[in-house]
Amino acid sequence: MKCEEVELSISLYIDRALGAADTPELFLHLAQCAHCRSFLETMLHLRQELASMPEPEPSWTLDRRIGTLRVRRAGMAPKITSAIRLLWMRRLAIPLPAAAVLALMLLTASVVSYSLWSKVNAEPPKQEVIYMLPMPAVEVQAVQQESSLPRQ
Partner 1 sequence: MQGTPDDELLLLMLSGDRTGFLALYKRYKQALFRFAVRMLGDREAAEDAVHDTFVRLLEDGRAITQPTALKAWLYRVVRNESLMALRRVRDCSENPSDSVWGPETPHTGAERSEAKNLVREALASLRTEYREVLLLREFEGMTYEEIAAVTGDSGSSVKSRLFKARKALAERLAPIWNEERKAL
Q: Which residues bind partner 1 (CB under 8 A)?
A: 7-8, 11-12, 15, 17, 38-39, 42-43, 45-47, 49-51, 53, 55-59, 61-63, 65-66, 69-74, 79-80, 85, 89
Nearer to partner 1, 56 or 95 (CB): 56
Least separation in angstroms between CB 27 and partner 1:
19
- List the one residue out of 67, 68, 10 whose CA is nearest residue 35: 10
Nearer to partner 1, 92 or 149 (CB): 92
Least separation in angstroms between CB 54 and partner 1:
9
Nearer to partner 1, 15 or 139 (CB): 15
User: Is there a contact between 30 and 58 (Cβ–Cβ < 8 Å)?
Assistant: no
Least separation in angstroms between CB 62 and partner 1:
5
User: Is there a contact between 47 and 13 (Cβ–Cβ < 8 Å)?
Assistant: no
DSSP, res 86: H
Least separation in angstroms between CB 11 and partner 1:
4
Burial of 78 per CB tally in 10 Å (0-12, 13-18, 19+): exposed
Taking CB atoms within 8 Å and a gap of at least 24, the contacts of 46-49 are 47/14
Nearer to partner 1, 53 or 133 (CB): 53
DSSP, res 58: -
